[in-house]
Amino acid sequence: MAASHWYDRATDSLIEHELLPEFPAVMVVGPRGSGKSSSMIRFADTILDLSKPGPRAAVDDDPDGALAAAPGVVLIDEWQESEEILGAIKRAIDSDFSQKPGRFIITGSVRASQQGKTWAGTGRFIRVRMYGLTQAELNRDPSYNPIDSFFSDEPPQFAYSGLGRADYLDRIVAGRFPAVIGRDESSRARWFKSYVDQLIERDAPLIASRNPQPAKLRSVLESCVARTGQELNKSAAAEDAQVNASTANSYLELLEGLSIITLVPAWHQKRLKRINRSPKVHVTDSGMAAQLLGLDAASLGRAHMLVGQFFESFVAAELVSHLETASKPTELFHLRHKDGREVDLLLERRGQVVGLEVKSGTKATAEDARGLLWLRDKLGDGFQFGAVLYSGEIPFKLDDRVWALPISSLWQRPSSP
């Protein structure tokens, strides 16, 4: 049976204490089922759930009137179900010369860029992305942000971990959607199958400019799953799905718009030449990815090629979620030099760089850190910190500013000095 516990989210604090007191409208986007509506309901005085026929009909008939009649803080849920609602919110904000903060919260399962003809939020909406539960949120510590720890002035004393490789595999296949937490393997598989079916058959056609072919779209998704953690190869995705390059590209954009995949761009700097420019593709929920490939924790652990990809995507998904609530603007990249040197994940903040390598094994050596050491020597003082994240239990120093850290450092607070 699934756990019915409520999880506080890091984005809740951001929205309640920083955004709603300052801005008239906050838009929360992310994959369906990630908990957006459940989290935002507690801030709302009025709820307009546009997935329901009654509220949707009222908004379609008179969107301006529906908003004017809604008192207090108004939550507009599943905004993409009504093409007129964003324009009405724009007009309501523009007509309020006082620019009263905290008037609207807008939630939906797609990014606004997927519905360009309805987009009216430039300069009016503050957009926040909410993905599935982070491991810190599952640990009841939503305020911990590992990105801020990595960029701290003094290297923190990262804690020992009580987790082993099998524990990480269990977390990877469990996924991050609140509805699957605590479910057994059988019911989790049923939930994910239903989720993917709805994604392909209903959500995607709702926002696509042309109705996608369900079987072809599913094939592109499965291609992304099989290639998660690798550089994006649009030609390979097209070949896997037996569609032309243009169709494959539109399907990839669709999946990204639904927040099912995320594309991590390549990092480059003038002082570093011959850097590959292709983004990496990561599936944002490793549990869904495992189910699509028919993998449980044991079989994933035996899949020598895939297990490394899944570990990297698991870490990437954690970091993508934490970017939204980091104390300072931070961007996520990957790096691959044409001579073969690479860094799996690279964080950049105000000219300082943190490099991360992800290993599924229980041992970490200086050889695993060779890309980090190369990058450190190239960047000098611009290199803040580097870490090989691995499945072992002990944090230890590999070289100057380069450490081996348990993957649990992403959610386990550093020890006190």
Same domain, 227 and 340: yes
- Specify the CATH number for the domain of residue 125: 3.40.50.300
Helix (H, G, I), strand (E, B) or coil at 253: helix
User: What is the rounded distance in angstroms from the CA atom of residue 343 to the CA atom of residue 356?
Assistant: 6
> Residues in the chain with pLDDT < 50?
1-4, 114-119
Q: Is residue 364 part of a domain?
A: yes
Same domain, 341 and 370: yes
Please check whether residues 166 and 94 belong to one and the same domain.
no
Is 416 a domain residue? no
Is residue 295 domain-resident?
Answer: yes
Say if residue 152 is in the same domain as residue 124.
no
The verdict on 238 and 165 lying in the same domain is yes
Residues 112 and 175 in one domain: no
Distances in whole angstroms, Cα of residue 60 to Cα of each of 64, 67, 76:
10, 11, 13
Query: What is the rounded distance in angstroms from the CA atom of residue 355 to the CA atom of residue 333?
Result: 9
Claim to verify: residue 140 and residue 207 sit in the same structural domain = yes
Percent of the chain with pLDDT over 70: 93
What pLDDT score was predicted for residue 277? 83
* Boundaries of domain holding 156: 135-410
223 shares its domain with 364: yes
Q: Is there a single domain that holds both residue 162 and residue 304?
A: yes
Domain boundary, last residue among 101, 129, 157: 129
Mark 142-166 as b/e (b = at least 16 C-beta within 10 Å).
bebbbbbbbbeeeebebbebebebe
The pLDDT assigned to 117 comes to 47
Convert the pLDDT of each residue in 88-146 to its tens digit.
999 999 898 667 899 999 998 765 554 444 445 556 789 999 999 999 999 999 999 99
Is 2 a domain residue? no
- Number of folded domains in the chain? 2
Is residue 359 assigned to a domain?
yes
Side chain identity at residue 53, one-letter code: P
Residue 379 resides in a domain = yes
Domain C-terminal end among 129, 146, 178: 129
Please check whether residues 75 and 188 belong to one and the same domain: no
Q: Within a domain: residue 3?
A: no
Q: Is 96 left (phi over 0), alpha (psi -120 to 50) or beta?
A: beta
Inside any domain, residue 260: yes
pLDDT of 224: 96
* Pair type for strands 25-29 and 125-129: parallel
Q: Of 97, 129, 161, which residue sits at a domain end?
A: 129
pLDDT tens, position by position, 39-90 = 999 999 999 999 999 999 999 999 999 999 999 999 999 998 887 899 999 9
Residues 189 and 72 in one domain: no
Residues 55 and 97 in one domain: yes
Look up tokens 């942000």; give the residue: 145
Tokens of 368: 């695993």
